Chain A
Amino acid sequence: MKDASPWIEKANPEYLALIDEQHLVTKLYSMVNVPTAVWINEQGKIVRPNEVAFVDDRFKSYSHMDSGPYLDGIRDWVAKGERSSFVLSEEQLKKRLTPVGPDRLMADVEFSLAEYLYHAGHGTEAIPHFKQAQRLAPDNWNYKRQAWLLSDADRDYGTNFTQEVQKLNGKPYYAPRQMPEPANKPN
């Protein structure tokens, strides 16, 4: 709370900003990095699942994506609702939303244990559990970045953010978005 509050205060957003100390949303929605967004309609149903969601292009060197098309999509959805071409059908959603397997579930619980131990004053004992979470969910950057930040990444994990991004060797750091073709873009 004390770490997040100054950021929120400075940004002074018009929208509601909540603080997720336990990564609950990461686990519930099986997210793997930030910024990630989900679109939820008036009935509480998902209409677009997890996607990288930058609001500007300051991190384009990592995302290799323009933020513009995604922002256009949000505006189109707001204006047209369910008629927006950016709203996915149930069939499309079920293709994109796949069940979480046992490794990811185990990674989530190891990560939860590690965070509890860290906050209980057992930072050293937390590290093996953070490592286990990272091993079980190797695509989860949230679990890497959070663990590295809570200690000395080079000393305790033998790596760091820059090295791990370099290891991708051309593989995208963020999963590419699947947006409608230009012909379907909003007028």
Chain B
Amino acid sequence: MGTLFRCVGLIFLCSMANETTSQVRTVVIYDNAATELRTPSPFTQSKDLWVTLAELKRSAGFVVKPQGVCRSELCFPLPKQRKADFLEQQGQDTWFNLSEFARLVKQPVAHDEKLATWCFGPRPEAQNGYLATLEAPNFTLPDRNGKLHSLSDFRGKKVLLITWASW
């Protein structure tokens, strides 16, 4: 069996983290990557997450263009009558309401207010997109030596993707 196809096993890991104390700064988790924001928000009374356009690009990869809020080929137009809900000028900076944008594109968001941490998940159509094509969602993960491997590296071979854990 092992000569005819490759098995990809995945171990779910829980590693112990050291307790640390640090000043609370806003953290944005987008596409599973965490970014600590550098610019303190002037929107101190807002329940939403406002970020500068530079932080928007750094944390979520989006750029505001005339046609909408874009990342690579993907652009989401902002409703013309609601632009003020998303964009606001404060001094030198233009600020963008990232949590309102998530509501616009139906993206799930979890928030820990005390630790000023925001986590954004995939849009439903992104999560469920593979159901139409049946193409196995790609991922890239490290082996125990830290070398990265992608599912797409195994095109041309059968893959048994099997997950287990040490719990």
A residues adjacent to B (C-beta < 8 A): 1-5, 7-9, 13-29, 31, 34-46, 53, 74-75, 77-78, 81, 90, 93-94, 97-100, 102, 105-106, 108-110, 112-113, 116-123, 125, 129, 132, 142, 145-146, 148-150
Cβ B110 vs Cβ A113 within 8 A: yes
Of the A-B pairs whose beta carbons lie under 8 Å apart in the complex, a sample of 10, sorted by A's number, is A20-B11, A21-B12, A27-B127, A102-B108, A105-B121, A109-B110, A110-B110, A113-B117, A120-B17, A142-B12
Cβ B131 vs Cβ A94 within 8 A: yes
- A145 with B165: in contact, given A3-B14, A112-B110, A116-B117 (CB under 8 Å)? yes
Interface size counted on chain B using CB atoms at 8 A: 69
Contact indicator per residue, chain B 106-140, by CB within 8 Å of chain A (1) or not (0): 00111110110101111010011011011111010
Query: Is residue B10 contacting chain A, with contact meaning CB distance below 8 A?
Result: yes
Query: Is residue B74 contacting chain A, with contact meaning CB distance below 8 A?
Result: no
Query: Is residue B151 contacting chain A, with contact meaning CB distance below 8 A?
Result: yes
Cβ B158 vs Cβ A40 within 8 A: yes
List chain B residues, Cβ under 8 A from A41: 158
Cβ A106 vs Cβ B108 within 8 A: yes
B residues adjacent to A (C-beta < 8 A): 1-2, 4-21, 27, 29, 32, 34, 108-112, 114-115, 117, 119-122, 124, 127-128, 130-131, 133-137, 139, 141-144, 146, 149, 151-152, 154-167
In the complex the two chains form, what is the Cα distance from A133 to B109 in whole Å?
Answer: 12
